[in-house]
A and B are shown apart, each in its own frame.
Chain A
Amino acid sequence: MRSLNIYNISAIVICAMYIVFAYFTYTRHKKSATIIKFATFCVVYSIYCFSIFLLFGFNNNAVSILSTILIVIGAFVPTILCDFLLTVANVRKKEYWIAYIFPIVFILVSIYHATKSQIIDYGTHKFYSPNPVLVIGVPTLFLLLVIYTALRFRVAYRTIRSPDRIKFLKRLFMGIYIVIPAAIFDIAFYTKIFGVFPFSLPMLIGYVYQIMHILDLESLNRQRTEYIMSLTHELKSPLTPIQMLINGLESKIAPEPKTKEALQVIAYEIERYKNLINNLYLISNVELDRPEPIKINKEPIVLSRIVADVITIFRDGAGRKGIQLTHQSNGNNPTILVDSDLVRQVLINLISNSIKYTMSGGKVNVDVSYSEKRVYVSVSDTGAGIPKKDQSTIFEKFYRAENIKQTGEGGAGLGLSITKMIVEAHGGKIFVESKHGEGSKFTFYLPIEEPVGR
């Protein structure tokens, strides 16, 4: 049995390395729409793996087969995966084919090759007999490899031109750190296949840029989310004086009923706008992988008071739509410890959703009840309802049920996912019961924590 050699060792090193990289790259993208492209890619790629195996794996040496499997599963799957994800995430639509070119070329060459006899002597690393595959296939493969590398180079170059020098050096350092084992692997791998290492420099440069590209994508993602966060700040600033002045006008001038109503409409719309920005802010906080994305500042409050407050804001808006908004509370209304701003946000999300998807003449009811250890709040409506198949997914980010899209009501698909996060950050849970066409009922509970020392 052959002992550990450079192929096996480098294969294992590369395996581990790329698995780590693939993991990070994947977790960044798993929640985006890339998932569909990813699935398509998986199909193409599994064929690719199989064909690689056909091309290099049929050998009578068991260790060699093992190392080939290791290389294929450990090194190629994640590498190509990274490539694919990076490419679709960063490249313009019409350049998606770049992500596929490498596997497709391998498929074509290896399928053809698999029908022929073995051409490589693994003992001496030399080719035997003038085979048509060698004459046509291998040069084509090389050519396409060069094109592939050049394209990757270009794609990466475009992303990498960052004005931030310190970050650039850091990335360069990390790039080199990863490329050195990659280069060992490349030399070993291509020498094993072709007898010589054909395009060491372009390959190396390609790898350097590729790795930097990975790191760059991370920072691009971050930059984008950070941008959204600063944007929410900018969007919020003008609201403060607007809201203050409207409230001030209402209470100071004692306006005639019609003006008063107009002011209330403005106040109501501002409240909704504010809540949307708060949602956006929270979601970008979660996206940034902050250690505590939803920070809870618990303070003693009477929950029914917040409910009543939110109901007051929304009652007029619901009334204008012809919806009756009611609320009950049973129990002795104990003071509990929660983050009042976040709970308020939850209530606004649920109530405004219910109002949004309930037709004129319907009802929305908010019910607060206490058990020994929990407080239950449910928001029920007589609206469009949620089809069974959508009920498990409505809490996902950006998800909007099919039947509500048809109602023509706009929405960002943020409210419920935020609501769930906030409720769970409090140690609570949220459920939905709904019948299509008859209405829905969202219920959440929060654990009751008695304020200490008050």
Chain B
Amino acid sequence: MDEKKARILVADNDPSFLYAFEFIFGEDYEVFQVQDGLSARALAEQESFDLIVLDVMMPPTGFDEGFQVCEYLKMNPKTNNIPVIIVTNRSEQDRTRAMEVGAEAYFTKPFNQSELRQIIENLLDQSRK
């Protein structure tokens, strides 16, 4: 591991999920938590992150906020090079939508977490190069 931990932004309206994410990845990465789409956008613009993990159903729009945030971040020149992972407990059917808005990876909850870890590491490696 390099001296500086990678910074990950996680947005999910479920505090338990955020806690679990921090519990598992908190040692290896610096995890920032937000609970809605607006603060996710704001924080992603203010600070610099190496990776963003987004839930789909979040306030304020509820239904597809994660996709909207992803689209927004990918349009923004400041943030468009940060890899995005979309994590949702909606079905596999949304995978195409996730790819359309430019997300690098898509996971349905509950997921295999070693797979998630693998993907996170791969994406971080790619963006370091």
Residues of chain A at the chain B interface (Cβ within 8 Å): 233, 236-245, 247-248, 270, 274, 281, 285, 295, 297, 339, 341-342
Q: Interface residues of B: mostly helix, strand, loop or mixed?
A: helix
Evaluate contact between A241 and B92: CB separation under 8 angstroms.
Answer: no
CB-CB nearest in chain B for A244: B20
Contact residues, B69-111 vs A (CB, 8 A): 89-93, 95, 108-111
Q: Could you list some 22 contacts between A and B, CB below 8 A? A: A233-B89, A233-B90, A236-B110, A237-B89, A237-B109, A240-B17, A240-B89, A240-B111, A241-B17, A241-B20, A242-B110, A243-B113, A245-B19, A245-B24, A247-B113, A248-B20, A248-B23, A248-B113, A274-B110, A295-B91, A295-B92, A339-B92
Q: How far is the CA of A199 from the CA of B14 in the complex (A)?
A: 60
Select from chain A the residue with minimum beta-carbon distance to B108: A341
> Interface residues, chain B, CB within 8 Å of chain A?
14, 16-17, 19-21, 23-24, 89-93, 95, 108-111, 113
Contact, CB under 8 Å: A239 / B93? no
Most chain B CB inside 10 Å of its own CB: which residue of A240, A245, A281 = A240
Asked if A238 and B16 make an inter-chain contact with CB atoms under 8 angstroms apart, the answer reads: yes
Q: Which residues of A contact B89 (CB under 8 A)?
A: 233, 236-237, 240
Kindly identify which residue among A239, A281, A295, A339 contacts B110, using a CB–CB cutoff of 8 Å: A239
- B14, B90, B91, B95: the one within 8 Å of A241 (CB): B14
> In the complex the two chains form, is A248's CB within 8 Å of B24's CB?
yes
- Which residue of the partner chain B has the closest CB to A296? B92
CB distance from A232 to the nearest CB of B (A): 9
User: Are A244 and B93 touching (Cβ within 8 A)?
Assistant: no
Which residue on chain A has the smallest CB distance to residue B24? A248
| Cα–Cα, bound, A333→B108 (Å) | 27
Whose C-beta in chain B lies nearest to the C-beta of A281? B91
Q: What B residues does A236 contact at CB under 8 A?
A: 89, 109-110
Known: A247-B113, A281-B91, A295-B92. A241 touches B108 (CB 8 A): no
Is the Cβ of B14 less than 8 Å from the Cβ of A237?
yes
> Which of A237, A239, A244: most chain B CB closer than 10 A?
A244
State A417–B90 Cα separation when bound (angstroms).
Answer: 22
CA distance A236 to B14 in the complex (A): 12
Asked if B92 and A297 sit within 8 Å, CB to CB, the answer is yes
CA distance A29 to B110 in the complex (A): 34
Q: How far is the CA of A186 from the CA of B96 in the complex (A)?
A: 52
List 12 additional A-B contacts (Cβ < 8 Å) besides A233-B89, A240-B110, A244-B110: A236-B110, A237-B14, A237-B89, A237-B109, A241-B16, A241-B17, A241-B20, A248-B20, A248-B23, A295-B92, A339-B92, A341-B108
Tell me the complex Cα distance, A172–B29, Å.
59
- How far in angstroms is the closest Cβ of chain A from B71? 21
- Known contacts being A237-B14, A237-B89, A341-B92, is A245 close to B23, with CB within 8 Å? yes
Q: How far is the CB of B100 from chain A (nearest CB, A)?
A: 14
Chain B residues lying within 8 Å of A247, measured Cβ to Cβ, are 24, 113
Cα A247 to Cα B108 with chains together (Å): 17
Top 5 A-B pairs, shortest CB-CB distance: A241-B20, A241-B16, A244-B20, A240-B109, A236-B89
In the bound complex, residues from chain B placing their C-beta under 8 Å from that of A342 are 92
Is the pair B110, A245 in contact by a Cβ cutoff of 8 Å? no
